[in-house]
Amino acid sequence: MELVVTEEQRELRDALRRFFADRSSGAQVRRLMETAEGHDPAVWAQMAEQLGLQGLAIPEEHGGAGFGMRELAVVFEEMGRALACTPFLATITAAAGLAAGEGGHDLLPAIADGSSIATLAVAEDGGRWDLRGVTATVAGGTLNGVKSFVLDGHIADLLLVAARDGDGVGLFAVEGGDGVVRTPMPTVDQTRRLARIEFDGVPVRRVGGADAVLRALDTAAVALAAEQLGGAQRTLDMTVEYVKVRKQFGRAIGSFQAIKHRCADMFVLVESARSAVLNAAAVADERPAELPAAAALAKAYCSDAYFHTAGEAIQMHGGIGFTWEHDAHLYFKRAQGSRQLFGSSDHHRARLGALAGITGAA
């Protein structure tokens, strides 16, 4: 298993960087933050039609390109770097659950061509991102319960819901709107939308079991870790650029030893996060049995690394870093929100301990 970036992946990164520089500038991010949808449908269509991103890792027999998590990691890193406002993370997470299940493969083509926005609904009001926290129930083909912190749940065409039936926890597809009440939730990170969704006798069909739910959550953890890596890299880059030109006492502040040390610490965190993401993406493609541990490690480390680098970026930008006009605070809020989404660092460290046999079940 090689932890290297191929020439094709570098070309993909370059194309994505150009695309998001044009479609996800700071001004565009701020504009989308103020909209009800939270994303630009035209950009979503371009992502599907021009770049084929929605179908990148969907098998060819279901309308996708058949690539893997390595390529998706490149996409998410660039999205994190650009603070892209898009339901891509929600949709790819749901697609992973469908691909891992046995009864919903017919839903993948619509995701691959960009005509369907999908999301995964696991956590409930208690905020647990594991199967033990699932209390929503399915009986007689209908779903009842509540899901919270549903990523892009306010606009999703397809909801994949973790719920309990006679066979334990399964993954159920909700395609209709009757009996579904969606309520936007307040968020620290205004570039990302979450919703609370109530289900009252909603018709569903089972598309997978507990394994499909867990695979979707592990995919989400790796994808979000890659996005956090991109954000951390961007906060490091903007900080280094700033300390080279900001002067105090007649010298660039980047020449002060204390600033050099803090930037060096940020660099170590970013490169370590990169290693964790590369490993998790390779494991997802080549050693799926080991994915739970690799995903937990990547999500725990990248969450903390991004939060630290984003905080350091604000500190080293001084007064301007605290202002609404500067983008540093947007990265800090994204870092804070991402730190909790799909499980906190503590949650994933507990998972690692349990998987390693050090602690009890997480």
What are the structural domain ranges in the chain?
7-112, 118-209, 212-355
How much is the mean pLDDT over the chain?
93
Q: What six digits make up the tokens of 85?
A: 């406002």
CB 67 within 8 A of CB 56: yes
pLDDT recorded at residue 249 = 84
Number of residues written out for the chain: 362
Among 244, 239, 246, 242, which Cα is nearest to 263's? 239
Q: For 200-210, what is the mean pLDDT?
A: 95
Is pLDDT of 40 > 70? yes
> To which CATH superfamily is domain 212-355 assigned?
Butyryl-CoA Dehydrogenase, subunit A, domain 3 (1.20.140.10)
Is pLDDT of 2 > 70? no
Q: Which CATH architecture has domain 7-112?
A: Orthogonal Bundle (1.10)
pTM score = 0.94
Tell me the three state secondary structure of residue 219. helix
Q: What six digits make up the tokens of 77?
A: 């890193």
The residue with greater pLDDT, 43 or 256, is 43
362 pLDDT band, cuts 50/70/90, is low
Q: What six digits make up the tokens of 114?
A: 């960009």
Among 162, 80, 83, 85, which Cα is nearest to 119's? 162
Residue-wise pLDDT tens digits, 221-245: 999 999 999 999 999 999 999 888 7
Distance of alpha carbon 69 from the chain centroid? 13
pLDDT recorded at residue 18 = 95
Among 187, 140, 198, which Cα is nearest to 165's? 140
Could you write out the three-class secondary structure of 96-109?
HHHHHCCCCHHHHH
360 pLDDT band, cuts 50/70/90, is low
> Percentage of residues in the chain with pLDDT exceeding 70?
99
Is pLDDT of 35 > 80? yes
Among 222, 225, 238, which Cα is nearest to 310's? 238
CB crowding 79-100: b at 16 or more within 10 Å, else e: bbbbbbbbbbbbbbbbbbbbbb
> To which CATH superfamily is domain 118-209 assigned?
Butyryl-CoA Dehydrogenase, subunit A, domain 2 (2.40.110.10)
Least confident of 86-90, 251-255, 274-278, 344-348: 251-255
Tell how strand 180-185 and strand 194-203 pair up: antiparallel
pLDDT recorded at residue 278 = 96
pLDDT recorded at residue 153 = 95
CB 212 within 8 A of CB 171: yes
Q: For 30-53, what is the mean pLDDT?
A: 94
The residue with greater pLDDT, 257 or 321, is 257
pLDDT recorded at residue 358 = 85
Is pLDDT of 141 > 80? yes
Is pLDDT of 251 > 90? no
88 pLDDT band, cuts 50/70/90, is very high
Is pLDDT of 62 > 90? yes
Q: For 292-300, what is the mean pLDDT?
A: 97
Among 331, 101, 140, which Cα is nearest to 239's? 331
pLDDT recorded at residue 6 = 84
Tell how strand 158-165 and strand 205-208 pair up: unpaired
pLDDT recorded at residue 191 = 94
pLDDT recorded at residue 175 = 85
322 pLDDT band, cuts 50/70/90, is confident
Q: What six digits make up the tokens of 251?
A: 């010298």
pLDDT recorded at residue 130 = 92
